[in-house]
Chain A
Amino acid sequence: MIAKLLRTVRLGFKSLLLHKLRSSLAMLGILIGVTAVIWLVALGEGVSFQVQQQIADLGAKNIIVKSVKPTAGASSGRGSSFIVEYGLTRKDYDNIIAAVPTIQRAVPMREIRSIVRNGSREADVSLIGCWPAYYEINHLSTARGRFLSDADVNERLNVTVIADETVKLLFPYQDPIGKTVEILANNKVDSYVIVGQTENRSPSASIGSSLKGRDYNLDVYIPLRTLRSRIGDQVVTTRSGSREGERVQLSQITVTVGSISEVEEAADIIDIVLGKNHKDGDYSITIPKELLRQAAITRMVFNVLLVLIAGISLLVGGIGIMNIMLATVTERTREIGVRRAMGAKQRDIIHQFLGETVVLSGTGAIVGVAAGFLCFPATAGILVAIEKWLPDVWTTFPGSIQDLKPIIAPWSIFVAFSIAVCVGIIFGLYPARRAAQMDPIEALRHE
């Protein structure tokens, strides 16, 4: 049985080698199809891996509660006419800690746009008042110095940690540690001593509507209490002549619970607690776990779509093979007649031609799998080429594309290979049957 199979395969190779160009062209269709499946799935996996990674970075056990500025019509009468008051309060923070039994940690944060100055150099940054735990929650790491400490917060020190990009803008080619910067916020200027610098961190992509992509590289961190006492809750900005302001106590509270399974229940409790005091819905609750699920669904849809596209190219490859095989059968009618006269049964002829198509598609599939692995150098090469020669286009790419590393999914190799071989069998069956059902006498007479 095995010997016969080997013989059929050998016979197939022999016949195909007779027409090398024709066979390679027929194979090319399958090759491209298989390679396309592997490449597309690998790229899709690469993108979705990055997306998943970014979501995981948010912390799957974290619930992010954010202040949301109400739309103009919905804004309540709180505060004076040009000052909008909204968002999470320190009272909310206490309430959440009291109400959620599974809570492990709740980290408040206040974020303001501000300008940081070093002499004549300026940077437009996000000023973040936070706790030391913020560092851990957001997976930040220090390039130089240290992050904020509990003592900094408790003693309301004028110390700051600034992010990588900010350092580049303010202290090009210098060590900023120990230097002093001026921070402008709320029309006040204060001096802060730099104690640390965070490492560059790729911005997280935006998934879902509730979570904006976050760029950590232009941040300036100061202790939350320092922010409160130096700048205050109320921030007034002057924009095109008119003054507008907002009064926000906390921009965000990151609540961490014990395990992923407790996330949803905790989020429900928080929603109830906050809902009492925030009838205008000026907050949002984001569960990364939900995003993980969404991302998983997106990834699946993505893969199905890609496999569909690649499947079409495999189908086209199959039609190409069928075309070649039909031509081959016609061309070799005489050979079929001779073999029949020598005692070949119909199924022998079917096996012979099916063997040829399977060898064709199988070889195409093997080479296609090999070519599939070229997606690593190919992707890297294309990205480098775009970065070098089309820098304008490059900058428009999101980070997940810029850092794209394809991940070859083992299942995609298996699927592509089996589909290719199946395509070979299915599209080879008709020509092979046609060959087998010829009248041997007619076939022998064929010129």
Chain B
Amino acid sequence: MNLAAKITDLHKYYYVGDVPVKALRGVSAEFPEGDFVAIMGASGSGKSTLLNLLGALDRPTYGRYVVGGHDVSKLTDDDLSTIRNQMVGFIFQSYNLIAQYTVLENIEVPLHYRDGDPAITSRDRKHCVDLAMEVGLKDRLEHRPYQLSGGQQQRVAIARALVNNPHMILADEPTGNLDSTTSEEILQLLRRLNQQGRTIVMVTHELGIAREAKRLIYLKDGLITKDNTFNNTSAK
């Protein structure tokens, strides 16, 4: 079984003034390819910090983080950018689309930041259109974010996360701003992607949402207190 990512004894300390805040105090886990992991925990438990580290937005204070064979712990800022671009796809609670761009242009954004700045080819464009189709935005390609519903915006975000074919999709409360029907649609989409072999790590604070995943990691005070694989998910 190949690993999409592996964390070993991750520590992350912040300083608020002179007082150190230990957000993560030694977290270890493995994320096999094709896994669908939900991370839960009370606010302040360190789940956002863990997600930021997994997304290479930050470096751990101690410990090792390997994604796609690269040890992220000691990379420069530019290399972290490349890792985020190539290895990770982000989905945010508030979609975070770029307002002045159309759906298609939003999906293209990560292509602009590929290593070596290759130009966007017609093949890339077709890939973007295919992704938009895949997430169900066939007729919305030229729309702007404000012309779309929340669910549609999140679909754009998902397509954007997929465009560079990342090792891992990181979703931060992806249904947090959506009603239950739309949430269910988005979760279905994520599940479908997972069934296609995508590795997904999702932070949520709703157990009902977390149950859609294959595995649940529970964080408390910067430590993993539970790491369970649901037996029932495979039936879904």
Contact = CB atoms under 8 A, between A and B. Distances in A.
Chain A bound to chain B: yes
Interface of A: 3-4, 7, 14-15, 17-18, 334-335, 337-346, 348, 440-441, 444
Given A342-B84, A343-B86, A345-B113, A15 B57 contact: no
Given A7-B112, A441-B58, A342 B90 contact: yes
Given A335-B98, A338-B96, A343 B55 contact: no
B28 interface: no
A346 B77 CA distance: 8
Interface string B83-100: 011100010100010111
Given A343-B114, A444-B92, 11 more contacts: A14-B100, A334-B96, A335-B99, A338-B92, A339-B98, A341-B55, A342-B109, A343-B84, A343-B164, A345-B82, A441-B58
A334, A342, A344: which has the most chain B beta carbons within 10 Å? A342
22 contacts: A3-B119, A4-B119, A7-B112, A17-B100, A18-B99, A337-B96, A339-B98, A340-B81, A340-B84, A341-B84, A341-B90, A342-B85, A342-B90, A343-B114, A344-B81, A344-B112, A345-B82, A346-B77, A348-B81, A441-B52, A441-B58, A444-B96
B18 interface: no
B100 A343 contact: no
Contact of B57 (A7, A14, A341): A341
Contacts of B96: 334, 337-338, 341, 444
A333 B117 CA distance: 23
Count class of interface residues, chain B: 20 to 34
Interface of B: 52, 55, 57-58, 77-78, 81-82, 84-86, 90, 92, 96, 98-101, 109-110, 112-114, 117, 119, 160, 164
A19 to B, nearest CB: 10
B113 A342 contact: yes
A348 B113 contact: yes
Nearest to A2: B119
A343 B161 CA distance: 11
Contact of B77 (A3, A14, A18, A345): A345
Contacts of A15: 100
Query: Which 5 pairs of residues, A with B, have the shortest CB-CB distance?
Result: A343-B85, A343-B113, A345-B81, A342-B110, A338-B96
Nearest to B81: A345
Given A342-B109, A343-B81, A440 B100 contact: no
B145 to A, nearest CB: 12
B67 to A, nearest CB: 13
A339 B5 CA distance: 23
